[in-house]
Every structure is written in structure tokens, then in C-alpha cells.
Amino acid sequence: MSKKKNQLNHLAIIMDGNGRWAKKRHQPRVFGHREGMDNVERITLAADELGIKVLTLYAFSTENWARPKEEVAYLMNLPVRFFDKYMPTLMENNVKVNIMGYLDELPPKTYDIVQRSMAETANNTGLVLNFAFNYGSRREITSAMKELGGLIEAGALSSEDITEDLISKHLMTARFGPYSDPDLLIRTSGEQRISNFLLWQIAYSELAFSPKAWPDFNEDDLKMFVENYQTRNRRFGKV
Ligand SMILES: Cc1cc(N2CCCCCC2)n2ncc(-c3ccc(F)cc3)c2n1
């Protein structure tokens, strides 16, 4: 009798290894970021083919501002490059783009393109491509606590009303539908760290690590990880 398959609805990826990938090719780090950007489109379409409903990608963390200013400037322009190149394909594939993070801290050009892209794809009903952009999980949780604290101070909420579900609803991931907790988190490039990504949301997620740098992570690698996930025995904290 075939083993029950887990349905993978929400996949999250920490797309690591771009700088080292470029260095190995005697190229500047930004060459790896550019290759990595093209791979985002490839893996988005592959995820859609595999029936994944939400794909959350860690594009820029709140800690990344500490990188050299030239690199930050390049990264801030990647969304512009990405949508210039791929918006037609995203529309053809009915992909809905969501960007979560502290967007009001972005340079105006970056802020505009992310807002426009969400608006342009808002009526799409296919795969949700969710970029975590200027995102940090501890800051996200802190913001949620401040919101709930404000509701209590305003008399709109009692501390008794605070539940795990209510906290989840105040996190950034709550804005894009029922699959807000990832079923599987993949990190590329061999590092086995979470790096302040979706700390609350991955409480019961399966974790998987690829030795490949993000630019080399291809459709076959994704299919292998998804098939492996489907055979795993999900516990959700139970025995
Ligand atoms: C900062 C950054 C870095 C970035 N890399 C490529 C992927 C690997 C990670 C580092 C470099 N990519 N790739 C796509 C985007 C993006 C972000 C928001 C958006 F609305 C559309 C596209 C991106 N953003």
C-alpha cells in the first residue's frame, strides 16, 4: 500500500550562497546576486508546476543593511530588474506577488516597484510568490507584541484574549492566506542556520538543507526535496 503523501502547500527558502558562488568564479558578489535573481524565476515556475501554493523567499534581511553600501545599492535595485524582466511571465502564470517586510524603509524606487508589483498581480489566483524583503523575524514578533499591547492599552483587548492564533494573525505572514506556516523550509549552500527567518511560523515545519549554492539549485533539486517531504512523517509536536 503506498505511503500517504504530505501535500506541500507552503515552501520557504533561504536562498544562500550567491556571494561565494560568484567568488568561486572570480566574479564580484553582485554577479552571484544577479544569477540568483534569475534562479528565483526558474524555481518559482518549477514550484508552481509541482503544485506548491505559496513560495516564501528570504530576499533581504534587516541585518543586510550592514553590507557594503555598493552591494546594498545593487540589492535594492534587484526588484526593479526582476519585474522589468519577469513581470510578463508572472502574469502569464497567474502568479500573485506579495512582499513582506519593513517596506517604508526602502529607497523610493524600490518601494514603488514592490507596491506596483503587488497591485499589478493582486487579482492573480495562482501561486503566491512572497518575498521577505527588509524582513527580520524577531522584529516582526516584536511589532506584533507592540500592536497587541496597544490594543490592551486602548481597552480593545485583554491579555486573557491573547492566543497563539491571535499572535499568528498579527504577523506579516498572515496577510496572504491560509498557508501562513511553511510546511518545509529549505536553506541552500550547506549552512544549517535559520538566520532570523520566520521563527514563529516554522515551529512545526520540516527543515531541509542543500549543499548547493542558490544559483546552482535547480528544478531537479526542488523536485527531490518536495518528493522527500511528501514521504516524511509530519509530527506537529505530537508523538
Ligand atoms: C534583495 C534581493 C536579492 C535578490 N537576490 C537573488 C536571490 C538570492 C538572494 C540574494 C540576491 N533578489 N532576487 C529577487 C529579488 C526580489 C525581491 C523583491 C521583489 F519584489 C522582487 C524580486 C531579490 N531581492
Q: What is the pLDDT of residues 61-107, one digit of tens each?
A: 999 999 999 999 999 999 999 999 999 999 999 999 999 999 999 99
Higher-scoring residue by pLDDT: 216, 179: 216
pLDDT value at residue 232: 78
pLDDT value at residue 175: 81
Distance, CA of 75 to CA of 35 (rounded, Å): 12
Q: Is 16 a catalytic residue?
A: yes
Q: What is the pLDDT of residues 43-58, one digit of tens each?
A: 999 999 999 999 999 9
- Report the sign of the C-alpha dihedral through residues 226, 60, 134, 113, in that order: negative
Which residues, at least 6 apart from 120, have a Cβ–Cβ distance to it below 8 Å? 87, 91, 97
| Residue 149 confidence (pLDDT) above 90 | yes
Distance, CA of 111 to CA of 116 (rounded, Å): 9
Mean pLDDT of 158-173: 95
Please tell me whether the interface predicted TM-score (ipTM) of this complex is above 0.95: yes
Q: Which atom of ligand 1 is nearest to the CA of 214?
A: 8
Given the residues 6, 9, 64, 124, the one annotated as active site? 64
Q: Which residues line ligand 1 (CB under 6 A)?
A: 15, 18, 33, 36-37, 40, 59-60, 75, 78-79, 82, 99, 114, 117, 131, 133, 214
Summary mean pLDDT of the chain? 95
59 CA → ligand 1 middle, Å:
5
Q: Is 165 a catalytic residue?
A: no
| Residue 6 confidence (pLDDT) above 90 | no
Give percent of the chain above pLDDT 90. Answer: 90
Model-level pTM? 0.95
pLDDT value at residue 217: 98
| Residue 176 confidence (pLDDT) above 80 | no
37 close to 215: Cβ distance less than 8 angstroms: no
Q: Which atom of ligand 1 is nearest to the CA of 97?
A: 20
Distance, CA of 210 to CA of 99 (rounded, Å): 25
